[in-house]
Amino acid sequence: MTTSGSPPVVAAVNGSAHSMAAALWAAEEALLCKTGLLLLMAYGVDGAPFGNRSFPPDTWLKAKEAITEEVLREFRDGCESAVPEVKVTTAAVDTGPISALTETSAMARLLAIGAPAGEIAGLFAGVSASRLSSGAACPVVVVRGPGDAGPVVVGVDGSPLSEEALAWAFEEAANRKVPLVALHAWHDGDIAGLFTGEGALPFPGESVRETENRVLGQRLAGWRKKYPQVPVDQVVVRDKPRHRLLELSEKAQLLVVGSRGRGGFDALAVGSTSHALIHHAKCPVMIVRERRSPVP
């Protein structure tokens, strides 16, 4: 049942099939987290002058508001029917979607948005997962299909946000009662993608792969202790991270990465890795920004 006072899972909706998929995923996530679900629909325009009611015109806003209320009722009914244990609330705002979602992220556990197949993830015209994830105060989940019944997969590069991604990934795996796959990848010439710090110095005769595998094990040790019920498979490969993440997404139920890290996860809000995951991952992708729980 819903825990009173806990931050809700927020799903952005607009009446489309892919936003309904995001809402239903968010309802299931809220059930796992024992919290509520907020369905949010923004029908205004980003960039409109604050307080200027002539743009967009009042008549246009009123027409959009009526449509919005009808969509929210339909989506609420669908979510309550699918996951009756979760308390579902709705909110309609007359601002633009980016500003509405960014503001709401400050009080949300996470934001779920839908991703049309073959397009950059977007709930509303002009709204992209990359733009939202770069400004949101909580993790953003791009729902690309329901995902398989397999493990949670997390990308690890040793950065602070990579550590935060581990926190979320272990919690998600524990809630779902599934194994966790922790992937660390580097490729030739990608020195920034290697683990750094005193513990990352190679032992005599130790290969790069052996060093990276040992350090990954050290990074995971505290989380294994905190979540002993979660089976963990640590994977270290010499490859571009996006290649293996996309491959693993085919049999995963959730992929977790930090929004900005080092090496292959650097600047996830822009760049090839981000575009590959947002465009082509076969399961929902969680982009983590802000710490919600302490590092063990």
- Region 13-38: mean pLDDT is 94
pLDDT tier for residue 119 given thresholds of 50, 70 and 90: very low
Beta strands in the chain (DSSP E): 9-12, 37-42, 88-93, 110-114, 140-143, 152-155, 180-186, 232-238, 254-258, 285-288
pLDDT at 121 over 50: no
- For position 147, what pLDDT does the model report? 72
pLDDT tier for residue 152 given thresholds of 50, 70 and 90: very high
Q: How many domains does the chain have?
A: 2
pLDDT at 131 over 60: yes
Considering the domain architecture, whether residues 277 and 251 belong to the same structural domain is answered as yes
Domain extent for 130: 9-143
Mean pLDDT over the full length of the chain: 79
Helix (H, G, I), strand (E, B) or coil at 40: strand
Q: Which residues pair with 180 in a beta bridge?
A: 152, 232
Considering the domain architecture, whether residues 14 and 60 belong to the same structural domain is answered as yes
Considering the domain architecture, whether residues 123 and 207 belong to the same structural domain is answered as no
97 vs 23: which has the higher pLDDT: 23
Burial degree of 116 (CB within 10 A; 0-12, 13-18, 19+): middle
| Last residue of one domain, picked from the residues 143, 178, 212 | 143
Choose the most confident range, by mean pLDDT, from 70-79, 160-169, 251-260: 70-79
> Cβ contacts of residue 181 below 8 Å, gap of 6+?
151, 152, 153, 154, 232, 233, 235, 248, 252
Considering the domain architecture, whether residues 254 and 163 belong to the same structural domain is answered as yes
pLDDT tens for each residue of 264-285: 333 334 345 656 787 788 999 9
Q: Which residues pair with 235 in a beta bridge?
A: 183
- For position 159, what pLDDT does the model report? 75
Q: What is the CATH number of the domain that holds 164?
A: 3.40.50.620
| Last residue of one domain, picked from the residues 99, 114, 143 | 143
Q: Is 4 a domain residue? A: no
